[in-house]
């Protein structure tokens, strides 16, 4: 029997992920010790209510409400309670007392990441956060370590399972947004009282800030992430997308860009976009997540799997635990976050995308020419034009629907084109504007 040094592990939070982490650690402790080269003793689980019902059996004597005392003397502190406070203060306390910290708290990292990483660096500790983005999917370590020798060009991520479930349901079952949200709520994906963290893209924006920071070796604050949610997406848009060979996905986009003066910068943004049905991300259904990476040397890579779930996310936390234990055994300071590139974060107006714009127009001579002029005045080149039809509008005049696909152009020019179309007397209504990504 090998004698290992014992590492004291303190856990904060016993919700769906925390309870599974405790349960798996207790069940597989010996095997994890062999992998880590150190014993992993769960010394306690700090919770608000020691008698609350848990999703896994955990010995009652492990529970405490005294998180601060639990942290003292811990070698590794796992924070899975969520929220900004007291999680931030407790993590800082743990780091300052010399513990390595593991967290799945994306909101905290996206908001106070820089402060926490600096605190870890100052004391030579390390902060691990594989569970913070895309649940069970290994994506932090691949970006931080495996791809550290490459240059990331772009990341397109489906990092919010709830919105992917809703959009997929609209596409595959034909439910409206409201019906699909109700289904997502019934199945426990969407928060009943307020689903906006998912539907308005806040959750995805937090994950985007974390991914962009890692990919581009730059601190990307949450406020710098452009965010649009899915609440404006209609069943008509989903159906039109299908007919045109696209699917609508809420994408987290992190992209290396060059501005007009040749200065390199980055863009971090979240919005619903059209993705070609041929793209690997189009095959990501229900509440699954996937992160598609375009790297200069490695080419295209896709990481796919469960983006949430108690036991699935616990897998990511336990992977971090084994890494943290190995580091303790080897000794020496933790590896600081790499922010050396410090790239400027470019405004949305400089982002270049393609658009699909649907218009309702009066069907009479000169309309197409007038619309083409509006595009050319903004320097936006039309790639595809599809006219379908033909009915009468409210005034009884013949009306047509135009779906115009553009070549790549700057967001500023495309946005100006959409405004001009909305103001044009030949356009009855701009019915849909969606960006096209992934080509």
Q: Which is nearer to ligand HSE, 190 or 346 (CB)?
A: 190
Among 285, 155, 144, 153, which Cα is nearest to 208's? 155
Q: Which is nearer to ligand HSE, 189 or 271 (CB)?
A: 189
Catalytic residue (choose from 106, 207, 249, 288): 207
Distance, in Å, from the CA atom of 6 to the CA atom of 14, rounded to the nearest integer, reads 23
Among 22, 29, 75, which Cα is nearest to 44's? 22
Q: How far is the CB of 99 from ligand HSE (least distance, A)?
A: 25
Q: Which is nearer to ligand HSE, 162 or 356 (CB)?
A: 162
Stretch that binds ligand HSE, among 49-57, 145-153, 157-165, 374-382 (CB under 6 A): 157-165
Distance, in Å, from the CA atom of 189 to the CA atom of 357, rounded to the nearest integer, reads 31
Cis, peptide link before residue 317, omega less than 30° from 0: no
Task: Choose, by CB under 6 A, the member of 162, 199, 208, 401 that binds ligand HSE.
Answer: 162
Q: How many residues bind ligand HSE (CB under 6 A)?
A: 8
428 near ligand HSE, rule: CB under 6 A: no
100 near ligand HSE, rule: CB under 6 A: no
Site string for ligand HSE, 44-83 (x = CB under 6 A): ----------------------------------------
Quick one: tokens of 39?
A: 């014993």
Q: What is residue 387's three-state secondary structure?
A: strand
203 near ligand HSE, rule: CB under 6 A: yes
Contact between residue 8 and residue 62 where contact means Cβ atoms under 8 Å apart: no
Q: How far is the CB of 320 from ligand HSE (least distance, A)?
A: 16
Q: Which is nearer to ligand HSE, 106 or 269 (CB)?
A: 106
Distance, in Å, from the CA atom of 438 to the CA atom of 278, rounded to the nearest integer, reads 10
Q: Which is nearer to ligand HSE, 17 or 38 (CB)?
A: 17
Stretch that binds ligand HSE, among 62-70, 155-163, 235-243, 356-364 (CB under 6 A): 155-163
Q: How far is the CB of 210 from ligand HSE (least distance, A)?
A: 11
Site string for ligand HSE, 303-332 (x = CB under 6 A): ----xx------------------------
198 near ligand HSE, rule: CB under 6 A: yes
Stretch that binds ligand HSE, among 156-164, 224-232, 275-283, 405-413 (CB under 6 A): 156-164
Q: How far is the CB of 411 from ligand HSE (least distance, A)?
A: 26
Q: Per DSSP, what are the bridge partners of residue 359?
A: 402, 430
Among 272, 77, 260, 75, which Cα is nearest to 168's? 272
Cα Rg, the chain, nearest whole Å: 25
16 near ligand HSE, rule: CB under 6 A: no
Contact between residue 286 and residue 164 where contact means Cβ atoms under 8 Å apart: yes
243 noted as active-site residue = no
Burial letters 269-292, b for 16+ CB under 10 A, else e: bbbbbbbeeebebbebeebbbbbb
Task: Choose, by CB under 6 A, the member of 23, 160, 208, 218 that binds ligand HSE.
Answer: 160
Q: How far is the CB of 250 from ligand HSE (least distance, A)?
A: 10
Q: Which is nearer to ligand HSE, 33 or 252 (CB)?
A: 252
Distance, in Å, from the CA atom of 95 to the CA atom of 79, rounded to the nearest integer, reads 12
Torsion of CA 5, 11, 17, 20, to 10 degrees: 50
Quick one: tokens of 263?
A: 């200065």
Q: How far is the CB of 319 from ligand HSE (least distance, A)?
A: 17
Q: Which is nearer to ligand HSE, 77 or 189 (CB)?
A: 189
Say which DSSP state 2 is in.
Answer: P
Contact between residue 386 and residue 403 where contact means Cβ atoms under 8 Å apart: yes
Burial letters 248-261, b for 16+ CB under 10 A, else e: bbbbbbbbbbeeee
Q: Return all residues near 262 (Cβ < 8 A) that are at least 6 apart.
A: none
Distance, in Å, from the CA atom of 250 to the CA atom of 432, rounded to the nearest integer, reads 16
Among 166, 353, 189, which Cα is nearest to 275's? 353
Q: How far is the CB of 207 from ligand HSE (least distance, A)?
A: 7
Task: Choose, by CB under 6 A, the member of 18, 39, 157, 161 that binds ligand HSE.
Answer: 161
Q: How far is the CB of 6 from ligand HSE (least distance, A)?
A: 33
Site string for ligand HSE, 242-261 (x = CB under 6 A): --------------------
For ligand HSE, the binding residues (CB under 6 A) are 160-162, 189, 198, 203, 307-308
Q: Annotated catalytic sites, by residue?
A: 207
């Amino acid at each position: 029997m090998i004698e290992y040094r014992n590492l004291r592990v303190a856990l904060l939070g016993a919700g769906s992920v925390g309870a599974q982490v405790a349960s798996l650690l207790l069940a597989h402790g010996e095997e994890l010790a062999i992998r880590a080269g150190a014993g992993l003793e769960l010394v306690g689980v700090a919770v608000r209510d020691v008698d609350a019902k848990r999703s896994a059996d955990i010995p009652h004597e492990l529970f405490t409400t005294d998180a601060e005392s639990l942290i003292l003397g811990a070698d590794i502190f796992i924070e899975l309670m969520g929220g900004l406070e007291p999680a931030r203060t407790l993590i800082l306390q743990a780091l300052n007392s010399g513990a390595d910290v593991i967290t799945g708290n994306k909101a905290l990292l996206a908001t106070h990441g820089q402060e926490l990483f600096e605190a870890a660096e100052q004391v030579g500790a390390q902060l691990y956060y594989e569970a913070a983005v895309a649940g069970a999917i290994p994506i932090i370590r691949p970006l931080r370590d495996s791809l550290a020798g490459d240059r990331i060009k772009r990341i397109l991520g489906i990092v919010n399972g709830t919105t992917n479930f809703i959009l997929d349901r609209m596409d595959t079952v034909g439910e409206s947004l409201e019906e699909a949200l109700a289904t997502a709520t019934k199945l426990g994906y969407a928060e009943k009282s307020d689903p906006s963290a998912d539907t308005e893209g806040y959750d995805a924006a937090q994950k985007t800030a974390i991914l962009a920071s890692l990919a581009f070796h730059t601190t990307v604050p949450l406020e710098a992430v452009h965010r649009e949610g899915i609440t404006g997406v209609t069943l008509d848009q989903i159906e039109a997308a299908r007919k045109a060979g696209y699917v609508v996905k809420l994408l987290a986009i992190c992209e290396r860009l060059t501005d007009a003066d040749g200065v390199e910068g980055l863009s971090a943004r979240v919005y619903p976009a059209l993705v070609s049905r041929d793209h690997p991300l189009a095959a990501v259904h229900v509440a699954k997540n996937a992160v598609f990476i375009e790297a200069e040397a490695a080419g295209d890579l896709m990481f796919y799997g469960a983006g949430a779930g108690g036991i699935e996310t616990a897998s990511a936390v336990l992977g971090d635990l084994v890494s943290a234990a190995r580091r303790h055994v080897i000794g020496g300071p933790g590896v600081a976050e790499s922010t050396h590139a410090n790239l400027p974060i470019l405004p949305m107006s400089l982002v270049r995308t393609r658009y699909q714009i649907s218009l309702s127009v009066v069907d009479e001579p000169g309309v197409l020419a007038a619309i083409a002029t509006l595009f050319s005045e903004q320097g936006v080149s039309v790639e595809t034009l599809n006219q379908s039809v033909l009915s009468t509008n409210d005034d009884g005049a013949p009306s047509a629907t135009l779906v115009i696909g553009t070549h790549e152009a700057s967001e500023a020019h495309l946005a100006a084109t959409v405004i001009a179309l909305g103001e044009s007397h030949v356009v009855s209504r701009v019915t849909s504007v969606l960006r096209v990504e992934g080509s």
